[in-house]
């Protein structure tokens, strides 16, 4: 097992992806500020690769330490732009189980990220899969305080080059500064959010 270099974890590399969307797919200029979309990810050694274990605490127990770093990096990448939506994902290397990826994405990991981006009342949408290095993952996004805000349902796709290796998990957290450009499907708007129950 590789030597730990981040708390109890061995992180081989960090990824930061930032894009600013200025126009929609038909070329319509933004109806307001551009959408800043961010992906923060890490390729982390999977201590359970190649074996089954009922107890996944080697991943879960200290995952808040990773969450704090994800939150710090997200705020830095946002560059002062407020974050209004988020989502998370994992890509598990082929010697691991999908459950190993989910172990990295529990509430213990996610809560420090929520705190860093100004809180979040709604659950964090997620996706994941077991795959070879270089695969692309679609990370769902939703409003961080109210899941009923249709304009903020979005997806960002990301790939990670040589990760995950068979004995790694790529953990990814995505963020956006606003909803889709020219969203026009009605429903609760972002400025109507009460932020009480995570839905409205």
pLDDT above 80 for 200: no
Mean pLDDT of 108-117: 97
Residue 14 has φ and ψ, to the nearest 5°, of -110, 150
Look at residue 94 and tell me whether its pLDDT is greater than 90.
yes
- Please indicate, yes or no, if residue 1 is contained in any of the structural domains: no
For residue 198, pLDDT over 80 is answered with no
Can you give the pLDDT at residue 60? 98
Query: What is the CATH classification number for the domain harbouring 103?
Result: 3.30.1330.110
- Looking at the predicted structure, is the pLDDT value of residue 32 above 90? yes
Domain-embedded: residue 5: no
75-87: average pLDDT: 97
Percent of the chain residues topping a pLDDT of 90: 88
What are residue 171's phi and psi, to 5 degrees?
-100, 135
Mean pLDDT of 29-34: 96
Q: Is there a domain that residue 2 lies in? A: no
Residue 14: predicted pLDDT: 98
Which band of pLDDT confidence, cut at 50, 70 and 90, is reported for residue 193?
Answer: confident
Calculate mean pLDDT across residues 75-95: 97
Residue 6 lies in a domain: no
CB 43 within 8 A of CB 160: yes
Tell whether the model's pLDDT for residue 181 goes beyond 90.
yes
Residue 175 pLDDT grade (very low, low, confident, very high; cuts 50, 70, 90): very high
Residue 174's DSSP bridge partners are 39, 87
- The answer as to whether 160 is a domain residue is yes
Instruction: State the residue range of the domain holding 186.
Output: 11-192
Answer whether residue 143 shows pLDDT above 90: yes
69 belongs to a structural domain: yes
The answer to the question of residue 165 being in a domain is yes
In a domain, 197, yes or no: no
pLDDT tier at 116, thresholds 50, 70, 90: very high
The answer to whether 135 and 105 have CB atoms below 8 angstroms apart is no
Structure tokens at 100: 């190993």
Tally of domains in the chain: 1
Indicate if the pLDDT at residue 102 is higher than 80: yes
Here the tokens at position 180 are 């889709």
pLDDT above 90: residue 174? yes
Q: Which residues of 129-148 are buried (b: 16+ CB within 10 A; e: fewer)?
A: ebeebeeebebbbbbbbbbb
Average pLDDT rounded to a whole number, residues 56-61? 98
């Amino acid at each position: 097992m590789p030597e730990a270099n981040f708390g109890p974890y061995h992180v081989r590399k960090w990824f930061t992806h930032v894009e600013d969307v200025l126009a929609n797919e038909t070329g319509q200029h933004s109806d307001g500020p551009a959408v800043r979309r961010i992906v923060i990810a890490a390729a982390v050694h999977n201590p359970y690769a190649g074996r089954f274990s009922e107890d996944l605490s080697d991943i879960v127990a200290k995952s808040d330490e990773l969450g704090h770093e994800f939150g710090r990096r997200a705020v830095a990448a946002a560059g002062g732009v407020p974050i209004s939506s988020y989502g998370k994902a994992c890509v598990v290397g082929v010697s691991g189980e999908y459950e190993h990826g989910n172990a990295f994405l529990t509430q213990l990991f996610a809560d420090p990220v929520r705190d860093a981006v100004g809180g979040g009342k709604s659950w964090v949408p997620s996706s994941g899969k077991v795959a070879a290095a270089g695969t692309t993952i679609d990370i769902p996004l939703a409003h961080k305080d109210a899941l009923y805000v249709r304009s903020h349902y979005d997806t960002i796709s990301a790939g990670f080059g040589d990760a995950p290796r068979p004995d790694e998990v790529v953990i990814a957290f995505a963020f956006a500064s606003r909803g889709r450009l020219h969203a026009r499907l009605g429903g609760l708007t972002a400025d109507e959010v009460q932020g009480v129950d995570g839905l409205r």
